[in-house]
Chains A and B, each alone.
Chain A
């Protein structure tokens, strides 16, 4: 009973954290399951993948209803992330993982500093304003047909109401999504870690929309890997059960109360996660145990 409750509690923390940042929560769960419960890494990753799906589905349903997640943007980018993941899986045997980890650590460090500068300046990353409010996000033309232009979008702030913004540099967003998929396959990290900064810093998507849209996207990538894990015996249902219950509670709470968290705090939290992951990647690159 005690072990089960601890798994529920750990899952709840991961779900809360993951739904707020659009990361899925695997970054917390895998160390918890391996170090805390002695699970083999392969099984911990399998349980983590199931939990990412729970976070994604529980949070995205709320974010879609509240018009915070951008369905068209998310689906357009997740296609390229999924392609990147397939490419990453195919080239995994050809590249030196330590070199990739080193490059990735440098990239994450650069992204964290860029986001930190925006926080310290107390001004958001430039988000090109739309000329006039648009009645609904979906009034925009399909993302896939307007790859080289800016697209008027809007999201609904719980306090301020509809907030228009312009989506820009979609081709760079595609490149970022492919990189997210490749990094996810090569290094076993969640794609949200790349996709949220790409959407926010490169494409001008407000941070809340970027994290909400990332929540929508991560489910499909995780489900692809999770199905493979399921069919190859990598998912332990006894561990996945209580963990998924906790993740569901945490992700539901996070997605319903996340709007109360100031954007600056959200950004700082994200930077902390980026820096932590950069540190872990640097250790991997330098082969530090």
Chain B
């Protein structure tokens, strides 16, 4: 692995984080503007998460659609970052780090399953 390869991995991962965050935050901003434009307060009762309702909410310019989609984007960004690192390490031939990245994704998956079974 060369320094250039290594720097490229960091740069690629940083770009994934930047794109993921900015895109998600842009959606959240749209949702907050729609919320305030509708004369509602952040302390009003919010709807429960419903993945299937997001497209309809987005088209109807209801704040719930953009807010939930933005939050989903934020929640996915760290895992996508690990996935991007895995791809970068695989391309750079860093097998140990590929295993580390794959194990992180596995543990995250197990953690979510364990949390859901307890909760």
Q: List A residues at the B interface (Cβ < 8 Å).
A: 1, 3-4, 7, 37-38, 50, 53-54, 56-58, 60-62, 64-65, 67, 71-72, 75-76, 78-79, 82-83, 85-86, 89-90, 135-139, 142-145, 219-220, 222-228, 230-233, 235-242, 244-245, 248
A96 to B113, CA, bound (A): 24
Task: Kindly report which residue of chain B lies nearest to residue A247, judged by CB atoms.
Answer: B25
Q: What are the residues of chain B within 8 A of A71 when measuring CB–CB?
A: 9-10, 13, 85
A142 to B119, CA, bound (A): 37
Question: What's the nearest-Cβ distance from chain A to residue B18, in Å?
Answer: 4
**At the interface, is chain B mostly helix, strand, loop or mixed?**
helix
Indicate if the CB atoms of A79 and B78 lie closer than 8 Å: no
> Which residues 83-112 of B have a CB within 8 angstroms of A?
85, 94-97, 99-101, 103-104, 107-108, 110-112
Indicate if the CB atoms of A54 and B100 lie closer than 8 Å: no
Give the residue of B20, B47, B48, B100 whose beta carbon is less than 8 angstroms from that of A75: B100
Give the residue of A4, A60, A232 whose beta carbon is less than 8 angstroms from that of B17: A60
Q: What are the residues of chain B within 8 A of A4 when measuring CB–CB?
A: 32, 35-36, 41-42
The number of inter-chain residue pairs (CB within 8 angstroms) is: 203
A–B Cβ pairs within 8 angstroms, 25 of them: A3-B41, A3-B42, A37-B43, A54-B21, A62-B14, A72-B97, A76-B100, A89-B115, A138-B5, A138-B6, A142-B96, A143-B97, A144-B99, A224-B111, A225-B111, A227-B75, A228-B116, A230-B75, A238-B40, A238-B41, A238-B43, A240-B71, A241-B42, A241-B71, A242-B32
A3 to B32, CA, bound (A): 12
Total contacting residues, chain B, CB less than 8 A = 66
Q: List B residues at the A interface (Cβ < 8 Å).
A: 1, 3, 5-7, 9-11, 13-15, 17-18, 20-21, 25, 28-29, 31-32, 35-36, 40-44, 46-49, 63-64, 67-68, 70-72, 74-79, 81-82, 85, 94-97, 99-101, 103-104, 107-108, 110-112, 114-116, 118-119
